[in-house]
Amino acid sequence: MIKGVLLDISGVLCDGYAAMPGAVESVSLLRAAEIPIRFLTNTTRQSKRQLIHQLQSFGINAAPDEVFTPVAAARAWLVENGYVPHLLVHPDLEEDFADCRADGPIAIVLGDAAQRFTYDNMNAAFRNLQNGAPFLALARNRVFRDLDGRLSLDAGPFVEALEYASGTKARLFGKPSSEFFLAAVASTGCDSADVAMVGDDAESDVAGALSAGVGKGILVRTGKYRSGDENSVAPEPSAVVEDIRAAGCYILKMRNR
């Protein structure tokens, strides 16, 4: 039985700045079936405000409390523990940290910084880690599908480089963190066994969700998916389907099973 749905955004609902075929209709059908939906993303090149605006521009209405990004959890950690963020992130993400404290001990916060992944910026983060700064990773995905349709390096390789150099293990706030998935599940009011995760990343989206206790992991053959991805992870996907339209049909069929 599927009573709630977690949807990845990039690669599932959109490809760059365009909606995937069937995305708007599929979300509408799920909402018509009164299935609670949460939108999950590890994307850290856009603020939450920009993400919501993008979804709405496609015709997908997403309320702020339905959109889960790693930033909110990282900010809560910073506040709770009294740290100032040393940001190594994309400039568009800085607005999500604008109201963080400006004085106190430093914690490194790393996302997909794109062109900001320079030697000087990485070395500055490394030196702070050497001095004992905690390491907060907003994501550690290996790759993402870029605007040219090809795969590009995501934040993960840079997280691992700093971990290797400094000997400091990063605390992960995005997928595949179990805490991230379970926070989204809890907001639906459903048991985790009755929730399905739909993603294009077999490792981070699907295996991560299943390892966290989410009932179904549905892998779509869009976005960053490459042939055979489903055979390279454990747990294996519950289903592998062509796209979000097929995923929506699968969910509706499983609604009362």
Structural domain containing residue 56: 43-194
* Structural domain includes residue 141: yes
* Structural domain includes residue 80: yes
Q: What's the predicted TM-score (pTM) here?
A: 0.89
pLDDT of residue 102: 87
pLDDT of residue 255: 84
pLDDT tens column, 44-61: 989 999 999 999 999 999
* Structural domain includes residue 4: no
Q: How many domains would you assign to the chain?
A: 1
* Structural domain includes residue 228: no
pLDDT of residue 249: 96
Rounded CA gap, 40 and 68, in Å?
Answer: 5
* Structural domain includes residue 177: yes
Rounded CA gap, 187 and 85, in Å?
Answer: 27
Helices (H), 43-118: 48-58, 70-81
Rounded CA gap, 122 and 89, in Å?
Answer: 11
* Structural domain includes residue 53: yes
Decide if 8 contacts 27 (C-beta within 8 A).
Answer: no
CATH code: domain of residue 159: 3.40.50.1000
Tokens 């919501």 belong to residue: 52
Tokens 């929506």 belong to residue: 248
Q: Could you tell me which residues come within 8 angstroms of residue 178 by beta carbon, excluding any fewer than 6 positions away?
A: 208, 211, 212, 213
* Structural domain includes residue 113: yes
pLDDT tens column, 153-200: 999 999 999 999 999 999 999 999 999 999 999 999 999 999 999 999
pLDDT tens column, 69-126: 999 889 999 999 999 999 999 999 999 999 898 899 999 999 999 999 999 999 999 9
3-class secondary-structure state, position 241: strand
